[in-house]
Structure 1
Amino acid sequence: MARPRGYDRETVLDRSMELFWRLGYDGAHLAALVAHTGLNRFSLYKEFGGKAGLYEAALDKFLGQLLSEYRAVLTRQPLGLENIEAVLRALQYGSQYYGCFMINTLTQRDTVPEAAYAKAMAAGEEIEALYIGNLAGALARGQITPGSNVSGLGKMLQALDQGLHIQGLAGATDAQKDRVISAMLAGLRV
């Protein structure tokens, strides 16, 4: 008969996500992961296959939460600039801001597991598609200039979104972020 787990998988994922988020993939050494999660090495390898598997599982959990938040705002009807503004303004930096785990994964391409990088890229593409849908809605509602290239603008919004996360990591304030968002919206509106 199999021994019951001596740990809660969700707690392990939350704690490992926090450590990877703060220290990056390379910085979160196996000993630190064991100490921070309370998981022993044997259980870590049995449950996740090692550090790479634990990273991917933590990223999966994060991406599930992140995409749920983006979908909740960017699928509200009617689609348009209000949704875009709401999702961008929801980002808050604060003193314990470690960036976005998805963006951190993308910027650590050479060190993170390839499967994790691919998952982060796919999530970014979904967010871009949600932006494009709202831009199409904004175009149909006359909120942006007729004939606007919604695909190109969607790529621009995704780049802005990712850039805001990186600026927050670099120490930008919420007021600075809000000025960037206001300028971007002013440039989009008819």
Structure 2
Amino acid sequence: MARPRGYDRDTVLDKAMSMFWRLGYEGAHLAALVEHTGLNRFSLYKEFGGKAGLYEAALDRFLGYLLSQYRDILTVQPQGLENIEAVLRSLQYGSEYYGCFMINTLTQRDSVPPGAYDRAVAGAGEIEALYRANLAGALARGQIAAASDIAGLGKMLQTLDQGLHIQGLAGTTDAQKDAIITAAMAGLQAR
């Protein structure tokens, strides 16, 4: 009979996620992860296969949260500019802002496990698809110009979204972020 786990997997993943989020893959050393999560090395390797597996599992947990938040806002009917603005304005920097774990993974391509990078690309792709669906709704409702390039605008919104997260790391204030969103939304509206 196998021994029961002496730890809660979700708690371990949350602790690992916070460490990877703050320090990145390379900055979160194995000894510190063991101490921070409360796992011993044997359990970490048995459960996750090592540091790379732990990172990928923590990122999967984060993506579950993140994509759920995007879906909750960007699937509200009728789809359109209101949803896009709502999701962009939902970003809060706060005093201890570490960016977006998914975007941090994308920007650290050469140092994160390849599987983690691929997961982050897929997550970003899903968010872009949600933006495109709302742009299609905005087009159908006459909120954007009839000649609008939905694919191009979807990519632009994904780029804006990612840029806002990076701007938070660079010290952009909430007021500056709000001004950027206001300008972007004005640029999208039908003329």
What TM-score do you get using the length of structure 2 for normalisation? Answer: 0.98
- Aligned partner of 1:131 in structure 2 is 131
Alignment of 1:25-40 (within 5 A): 25-40=25-40
1:51 maps onto 2:51 in alignment: yes
- Aligned partner of 2:107 in structure 1 is 107
* Pairs aligned (count): 190
Two-structure CA RMSD over aligned residues (Å): 0.5
Flag structure 2 segments of 5+ consecutive residues without an equivalent: none
Deviation at residue 106 of structure 1 after TM alignment: 0.2
The superposition leaves residues 114-172 of structure 1 with CA deviations (integer Å, 9 ceiling, x where unpaired) of 00000000010110010000001001101011110011000000000000000001111
Distance 2:141 2:99 in 1: 34
Deviation at residue 2 of structure 1 after TM alignment: 1.3
- Aligned partner of 2:174 in structure 1 is 174
1:82 maps onto 2:78 in alignment: no
Distance 2:42 2:171 in 1: 39
Q: What SS is found at the alignment partner of 1:44? A: helix
1:186 maps onto 2:181 in alignment: no
- Aligned partner of 1:9 in structure 2 is 9
- Aligned partner of 1:163 in structure 2 is 163
- Aligned partner of 2:64 in structure 1 is 64
Q: What SS is found at the alignment partner of 1:144? A: coil
Distance 1:128 1:84 in 2: 11
Deviation at residue 112 of structure 1 after TM alignment: 0.3
One-letter identity of the residue aligned with 1:2: A
One-letter identity of the residue aligned with 2:89: R
One-letter identity of the residue aligned with 1:63: L
The superposition leaves residues 82-104 of structure 1 with CA deviations (integer Å, 9 ceiling, x where unpaired) of 00000000000011110000000
Distance 1:167 1:13 in 2: 27
What TM-score do you get using the length of structure 1 for normalisation? Answer: 0.99
Distance 2:126 2:3 in 1: 40
Distance 1:174 1:13 in 2: 29
% identical aligned pairs: 78
